[in-house]
Amino acid sequence: MPTLLSRQSLRDDLAYVDEQLRRHTDPYDTLRLMWQQRHDQLQRELGEAEHDISSHAEVALLFEGVPVRASEEIRLAFATKMLDQYQSFVGTIAAEKGGALVAAKGQLPGGYTSRLFIKDMLRGSVGFLLQEPVPLQTSLVPSVLKEAIEEATHALDDLASGSDQQFQTRIDNLSPRAVNAVKKIVKTLSEAGAEVKIVGSDAEVKLDSNKVAGLNARLNELEILESYEEVPGMLLGILPDRRQYEFKIGEDGPVIYGPVSEDLDESYMSNPSRHPFC
């Protein structure tokens, strides 16, 4: 379970236990002793959760509204569309963090949208726990996908804040593809009459009906423009392990790196001698 979600659950349990302790004031009462033991246990678990820092990505998407029935069921078409659109948004940010130049349309570079898996289905507010596969070796550095999820959460929070300045600043910092991904998410929520709470390891955001309506109206007023620029230089080669190209700008310019298409990567791996830059 995402750290933030587990912390909140522990705090809710602790608040209930504290209420029981206030009701049972006799220090020799057996019930009070039981509640006190539970209180001490929750305090220990909460302390451990505060220091539990994972390097891989995990996030909970919790839904309410028309598509949810009896806090147990959710419409398949809605859930499928939301999961796909959310992963597209996070994948766009992850690809950009990985050094990719992402166009407003077209397929994302491989490896960025396929690494989130449904780990569990959550109850109460019906939702899903998404998780990146846990690496075999523990890393002290957060994965690109973990950072992308947290940035996506902060971006949605800024866009839905109601502040014109926060909205405009965040829009200016998002790529056209990321903005389009947000527009699709908000449109799906609006048309379905749904709300969503997104809980990551370090941050959370809730898009209720009012925020969804306001954000949908704002985003519909945006016009996404994209320009292209040709950069002369020399393709030095392909780095198959990283699925990146190595490109030197001009004659004496810096060397830059970027993602190659999956087709080119597979072609290079199958027969490197076919390519003139080998």
Q: Are residues 108 and 142 in the same domain?
A: yes
- Please say whether the dihedral angle defined by the alpha carbons of residues 271, 275, 276 and 278, taken in this order, is positive or negative: negative
Q: Are residues 66 and 111 in the same domain?
A: yes
Q: Are residues 63 and 96 in the same domain?
A: yes
The single-letter DSSP state of residue 132 is: P
Q: Are residues 42 and 88 in the same domain?
A: no
Please give the structure tokens belonging to residue 35.
């509640």
Distance CA 229, CA 239 (A): 24
Q: Are residues 170 and 97 in the same domain?
A: yes
Q: Does 225 fall in a domain?
A: no
Q: Does 158 fall in a domain?
A: yes
CB 148 within 8 A of CB 94: yes
Residue 33: domain span: 3-50
Biggest distance spanned by C-alpha atoms of the chain: 85
Q: Are residues 103 and 239 in the same domain?
A: no
For residue 107, the model assigns a pLDDT of: 65
For residue 49, the model assigns a pLDDT of: 67
Q: Are residues 164 and 71 in the same domain?
A: yes
Q: Does 228 fall in a domain?
A: no
Q: Does 210 fall in a domain?
A: yes
Q: Are residues 70 and 206 in the same domain?
A: yes
For residue 191, the model assigns a pLDDT of: 95
The single-letter DSSP state of residue 203 is: -
Q: Are residues 73 and 40 in the same domain?
A: no
For residue 132, the model assigns a pLDDT of: 84
Spell out the per-residue pLDDT of the chain, length 278, in tens. 556 666 767 777 888 899 989 988 888 888 889 999 989 988 888 777 666 666 777 888 999 999 998 777 889 999 999 999 999 999 999 888 876 667 666 666 655 555 788 887 776 568 888 888 776 665 557 788 888 999 999 999 999 987 889 999 999 999 888 999 999 999 999 999 999 999 887 788 999 999 999 999 999 887 765 566 788 888 887 776 656 778 888 888 888 776 665 555 556 556 655 544 44
Q: How many domains does the chain have?
A: 3
Q: Are residues 45 and 63 in the same domain?
A: no
Using alpha carbons, list the distances in angstroms from residue 269 to 99, 113, 121, 240.
21, 22, 39, 7
Helices 30-50 and 3-23: angle between axes, nearest 10 degrees: 160
For residue 52, the model assigns a pLDDT of: 60
Q: Does 113 fall in a domain?
A: yes
Q: What angle do CA 23, 28, 32 make, to 5 degrees?
A: 35
Q: Does 78 fall in a domain?
A: yes
